[in-house]
Structure 1
């Protein structure tokens, strides 16, 4: 299990000295999001704030500056994002200390995703609004462009999974892991071919959020989006990669035991996928094309596999969940979706009528 990173007191004192927050009344750990990116919630006389240390690999200053330019541009256009707090002396949106990069946000209150179709539709609409505001906006000359689609290093990650899992879970069956990984590799490659056959490489590229999931959105009581957070994965790629990943994340069905994936249903929520796409089409400058609709289930499969294999290959687990049962759950979902791909596309298209 990957240990959650935390701040030490000296580090906090040095980083906070760069900000003018007023008298600090309390500092509490904020154990949400990436375990490699520690956060604290700070209450002062002037308000509440969230301090975050960027995770390794997401902390290159040019990448942080890129995401901050996005957030500032969105805020200037009244898009709901958490306000960045500048430093005392230079109003810089980031602080660097001993090789690490830190950012401070105004703390935003809101409700978490409640699993409703209404909230899902608003999440899709908000994503379309973001794409519309960022479309064609040249914020830097070379924005990140990594993607879960046709990821060049995925084969190596898949190959590394059995050893990584066995290192932290001696009870995991190597034979089962090898069989599961072989299936996922084949399913991923098949999905890539299907997406490419639809013309993916020729689709316009726009700036994507890159990590559009329920944990990165806060909602008003009426289920409209109150704030979008965590732009660490923002990048340049066709909009459909964001749409498909968002549809996946907002349609995941998890059992009552959130840490036991063997109890999670194999099916995604087709109703929520349709609600998400309906919301996106309502907010988009141009609705999704026929080819983009056809790519939806295959990009979902790519995202399911890539977004689980990569962290498990690195740590042997997925957050707090052992890697073996988590990958078995991913396999079940891929096996459920593959024969239903055409029906899902037809069902989602009904939202356009």
Structure 2
């Protein structure tokens, strides 16, 4: 095995003997979908929209059930269920498109005659997506959720996607507007993007697919290490590491609850988060080199064909920080264990076989061996990432993807406790 002395080594990874490991029983969680970015485009005015050929408008309307008050399209394609749509989870309303809105937005693109428009029920319910089938091919239209459409956020996301596409990294191609040749369209204060649609299958939780996810992340980092990113990340790009707001939000959740057990859980998670952050800092995180990272590496953002990743999506969270932040979050997301919608039945432990394969996949890319110091930080960063992912929506809404917030935090408490008590074993799994 190559040495693991520095956070960003340049040593080539030697072939490793692989153990025979059993496949995991439960799939990792599905995630959000569709890629993102920005460039300003001046939309057609309503007056211009009224000049669209009536035949084109009639053809469009023929594919849109409902009226101009909002589309309700039938979900007639096989989709990965978002976390809010898992069996047993309460149904939540998704944002939709108005017919007039859609007619104006699509008029900016050279798609030819439109054959079908299908709702794509994946990812954030605040960011509606549609599959557009036309003479030019199949495309995915996305309207960015409020708060994720900051111009700098979109600009960085699109810049990263263009940079990667030029280097043959697997991702959907951004489609330019016909009139302004931009990759993001602004209309009525909202931001729209159109992508080529790449059909693929979801992550199947197999060991080969897990290893491939780690390898693809390493390739992402290796390519973007060459990118001359700005010294300061956009203001939106807050890290999950050492965020001052997380202990405050846990205090807020506890203070508004009459449940003594929940207050105790919040206090435990507060201490666990701060302890984990201190351990990651002790490993050397503040001094490690920074580069552009993906920021949201999870199974819902990787599309497969067999065991191979054929596309990475959703670059909304791209930011400038140590690559270990991505490695840790990815290792968590591809090894977490679940069991339906009954949170009490979710195991405390991570799937250790998948954890090891993810890290080994990352190591397999030349020049991308995870350093010893990074590996020591990974379990602590995973604890931080898990707590942040749960706390932010629960503090805002009282729930996580339709699941009751208190029960979800108790599950997180169990898993964070397991990772804390097994931090040394997780390190040994990869270094043995």
TM normalised by structure 1 equals: 0.93
2:250 maps to 158
Please state how far the C-alpha of 1:31 moved relative to its aligned partner: 1.2
Q: 1:283 aligns with which of 353, 362, 365?
A: 365
The structural deviation recorded for 1:85 is 0.4
Give SS of 2:303's match.
strand
Instruction: State the SS of the aligned residue for 2:205.
Output: coil
Picking from 415, 418, 421, the partner of 1:336 is 418
Q: In the alignment, does 2:192 pair up with 1:110?
A: no
**How much has 1:163 moved relative to structure 2?**
6.8
Task: Report whether the alignment pairs 1:210 with 2:291.
Answer: no
Deviation at 1:261, TM superposition (A): 1.9
Aligned to 1:241: 325
Give the 5 Å matches for 1:94-243: 94-140=184-230, 142-144=232-234, 145-162=237-254, 174-221=259-306, 223-243=307-327
Query: CA separation in 1, counterparts of 2:394 and 2:332?
Result: 19
Q: Say which one has the larger Rg.
A: 2
Which residue number corresponds to residue 169 of structure 1? none
TM-superposed deviation, 1:17: 1.4
- Cα deviation for residue 103 of structure 1 reads 0.7
The alpha carbon displacement at 1:179 in A equals: 1.0
Q: The residue matched to 1:336 in structure 2 has which SS?
A: helix
The runs of 4+ residues in structure 1 deviating greater than 6 Å are none
Structure-1 separation of matches of 2:383 and 2:231: 31
Q: Which residue of 1 aligns with 2:160?
A: 70
Q: Residues 265-284 of structure 1 correspond to what in structure 2 (within 5 A)?
A: 265-283=347-365
Deviation for aligned residue 1:140 = 4.8
Q: Please state if 1:54 is matched with 2:138.
A: no
Gaps of 5+ in 1: 167-172
- Which whole-Å CA distance do the structure 2 matches of 1:227 and 1:270 have between them? 25
C-alpha RMSD of the superposition: 1.6
Q: Comparing 76-85 with 30-39, which one deviates more in the overlay?
A: 30-39
* Residues 310-339 of structure 1 deviation map (CA, whole Å, 9 limit, x = unaligned): 111111111122211111111110111211
Q: How many Å apart are 1:136 and its aligned residue?
A: 3.8
SS in 1 for 2:317: coil
Aligned residue pairs total 340
**Pick aligned residue for 1:321 from 395, 398, 403:** 403
| TM-superposed deviation, 1:141 | 6.0
Distance 1:44 1:100 in 2: 24
Alignment partners' CA distance in 2, 1:212 and 1:280: 13
Name the CA distance, whole Å, in 2 between partners of 1:19 and 1:141.
Answer: 35
Contact kept, 8 Å, 2:229 with 2:292, in 1: the verdict is: no
1:142 positional shift? 4.0
Unaligned runs of 5+ in 2: 1-89
